[in-house]
Amino acid sequence: MTRTDTRIRNPFHDPLVTELIEDPRRYTEMFSEEILVGEALAAFRPTNVVVVGPQGAGKSMLLNLLRYNVLSEWISKRGKPPEPIKKMAPFFGISVNLVRAGFHAFGRRSVSAALAQGQKDQSVDAACAADFINHYLFREFIRALHFLGDNRGKRLKAWLTIDRLDGNRMAAQMSSWDCWYGYYSGCVTLQDLLDKCEQRLSVWRSFLNANIDTIPEGIWQSKATLGDPLHAIGNLLSSGTLASRRIPLFVIIDQYEVLPELNPSFGTTLQRIVNTLIKARDPVVFYKIGARTYDWGTELRVWGAESRIEIQRDYVLIDLADLLMRNEDKTGWLYPQLAIDVAHKRINVEGHFSCSKDVVPQILGKRTPAQEAAMYFPKGNDRRKAKLVRGIPESLKLRIEELCRKSPLEMRLAGAWVLQQLQRGVSESKITREVAERPWSAKKSWRKERIDIALLQIASVANQRRYYFSWETALYLSGANISVFLLIFAEIWDMASKADIHPLKNYPLDPQLQTDGIFVASDKWRNRDRNEQLGGRKRYEALGRLGSSIHDYLIHDFAISNPGHSGFSLRESDLWSGDEGNEVGSFLQRGVSWAMLEERIHTSKQREAATRRKWYLHPVLSPAFAIPFKRAKEPYYTSVNQVYSWFFGADKPKFGRTVPGRRHENEKLPQQLEMALEDGH
């Protein structure tokens, strides 16, 4: 195979998976059932569900399976639904993308203002939007019935236990529903209903597009009450007249979160209309919404009242980030299986290659820290290597070199341990005695927490950028985000094919090649946010400054005193109080939603009643800033004011504590420490 062939067939080329979502056939081939576990399965039960997760976490991928045409493709191809869903009661899923449908434009052109010479009445505009969504979803239902009625829907129909579909009888029944106020009178076929429905939707669109300035009387007088037609559809499906069992109606709602952005004056009212549908807790209709982590919850009120929809009572929340990041101690961690399965499907289906699942991790191979550390000194280079233990007395330095047998990783960790002892005021003679026991190796957790930073420092001393390679590294860097994972794999694959290396014939791929690909992926993720995502330009600047500061702090902390200081911690109570708290809070939330920051709750080590949260730059950004991608305990404890100055101030952020906590007050760091890395990075 030529290089061009390999590149063209990069199975990870389109990491954004949109086309897969649009095409039921490809979706069926590529969807990973690995995600259908635990609380993710709630999405397929008859209950209102909100799926949240950062950008690229796989929300749309999960919810897409609910759509009738997608599930039908699956059943037609495989004879049955995905295994976990097979055990559940059949459902009928129709969907609306609120932006594509044009729902978001209601209120931007106000019907009430057009009627009353400029006097706006929000309730009138909301009623018009409600009518639009009612009829839009009715149209989706009729199209679904058409689908069921022809060959394409044959297998789905069987799964739903629908024996016979009498379109005309159904059309007659539906056209006479009271909820339409006579609008569909005279429609005798499904096609009649569809045509009439599309005429109505077209009128609304023409008005919103400013093609017309009034709404015809026939439409104005027959506005359907929010949710009534959907309830009627749900009843039809549950009545037993259509199928031999009750079929719940699922309504998948996409792009809910962008309503306030695209319609600043009326967007939250539109969200309240959707909330009202959820609040109704209709026994036959169930809503499924996907939203970025913090785009859900900003407006929970219903339309026309102050009451709010409540979690558990009105809906179930599925946090995909939670689901995929859980148990990173590797016991029962779902994400690696998901990543393997997704990559395997990509390679086999999209790339038309053939490989087994167990080959996927082998493409990137394994790595040990010692192996990586040795790569920074391929020719020995003892002079430069000696700098790994600088800042400590000559006698100790010689002793460490002797004990570590010139292993760069051991030397760096030993150097860090000795520096810590010196900072704590331990005498040189005592340290000399203790080093014989190799405490930097013996203390497992001490060592584990510092290895990642040690490797960064070794790379820096060797005047090189860090190597990033191995399957495990790719998993960590992706931060349990499947889109990031695909991007990383795509770039590594591209690097391999540029070098005329077939990733399936020459694995594990060369670490240098993997590193090059990962750096490109890191850069692309950062620039994609800058150029393409809401507020990304500001995040690019603010997180860029923060990332550089974290790097500076960690690289210069040769004692590795605070290995957790690649992230920072704030009291929850300090957020959202005062202007600065609000600005910091919303900046952090948006960063998490767009997968540029990672947020975790944690227990404070300080004696305080308050709960805390900690934030890190998303791991995929670690290569760009040369900061650790593995998280150690105890982040940098800071204040909202300081974080505000990092993000919104003009000065370069100062990150981390420069003076170790337990050092005696009058003690000074060895002077060498201040200069530790001046020629190292």
Residues of this chain that interact with other proteins (CB under 8 A) are 4, 7-8, 13-16, 18-19, 22-23, 97, 99-102, 104-105, 107-110, 113, 136, 139, 198, 201-202, 205, 208-211, 258, 261-265, 490, 494, 528, 531-538, 541
**Cβ closest to other proteins, residue 81 vs residue 290:** 290
Output the CA angle 195-200-203, nearest 5 degrees. 125
In angstroms, give the least distance from the CB of 66 to other proteins: 18
Q: 259: which residues sit within 8 A by CB, 6+ positions away?
A: 98, 104, 267, 268, 270, 271
Sign of the alpha-carbon torsion through 273, 279, 280, 284:
positive
Q: How far is the CB of 504 from other proteins (least distance, A)?
A: 20
Shorter beta-carbon distance to other proteins: residue 41 or 258: 258
Could you tell me the smallest distance in angstroms from the CB atom of residue 424 to other proteins? 45
- Of 171 and 487, which has the nearer Cβ to other proteins? 487
Min CB(113)–other proteins separation in Å: 6
Encode 365-430 in three state secondary structure: CCCCHHHHHHHCCCCCCHHHHHHHHCCCCHHHHHHHHHHHCCCHHHHHHHHHHHHHHHHCCCCHHH
Per DSSP, helices labelled H in 557-639 are 578-593, 622-625
Nearer to other proteins, 292 or 387 (CB): 292
- Pick between residue 282 and residue 529 the one whose CB is nearest to other proteins: 529
Pick 198 or 228: Cβ nearer other proteins: 198
First to last CA, the chain: 41
- Rounded CA gap, 289 and 254, in Å? 6
Q: What minimum distance in Å lies between the beta carbon of 131 and other proteins?
A: 15
- Short-list 324, 270, 262, CA closest to 293: 324
Identify whether the C-beta of residue 486 lies closer than 8 Å to the C-beta of residue 453: no
Specify the pairing of strand 567-571 against strand 612-617: antiparallel
DSSP state, residue 225? P
CB of 210 to other proteins, least distance (A): 5
User: Cis (ω within 30 of 0) for the bond into 508?
Assistant: yes
Based on its alpha-carbon atoms, the radius of gyration of the chain, rounded to whole angstroms, reads 30
Structure-block tokens of residue 523: 């850069």
For residue 265, what are its two tokens?
């004056």
Q: How far is the CB of 494 from other proteins (least distance, A)?
A: 8
Q: How far is CA 319 from CA 53, 281, 549, in A?
A: 6, 21, 31
Burial class (CB in 10 A: 0-12, 13-18, 19+), 45: middle
Nearer to other proteins, 113 or 499 (CB): 113
- Closest contact distance (angstroms) between CB of 199 and other proteins is 11
Q: Which two tokens stand for residue 346?
A: 């990509």
Provide the minimum distance between the beta carbon of 68 and other proteins in the complex, in angstroms, as a whole number: 16
Complex with other proteins: residue 321 or 490, whichever CB lies closer: 490
**Residue 262 or 501 with smaller CB distance to other proteins:** 262
Backbone angles phi, psi at 599, to 5 degrees: -120, 140
CB 305 within 8 A of CB 279: no
In this complex, which beta carbon is closest to other proteins, that of residue 108 or of residue 438?
108
CB of residue 466 to other proteins, shortest distance in Å: 23
Cβ atoms within 10 Å, residue 74: 25
Tell me whether residue 202 or residue 395 sits nearer to other proteins (CB atom).
202
CA dist., res. 681 & res. 672, Å (int): 16
> Coil, helix or strand for 601?
strand
CA-closest candidate to residue 335, choices 471, 487, 482, 484:
482
Q: Please, which residue, 8 or 398, has the CB nearer to other proteins?
A: 8
For the bound state, the minimum distance from the C-beta of residue 490 to other proteins, rounded and expressed in Å, comes to: 8
Instruction: Provide the minimum distance between the beta carbon of 388 and other proteins in the complex, in angstroms, as a whole number.
Output: 38
Greatest C-alpha distance within the chain: 100
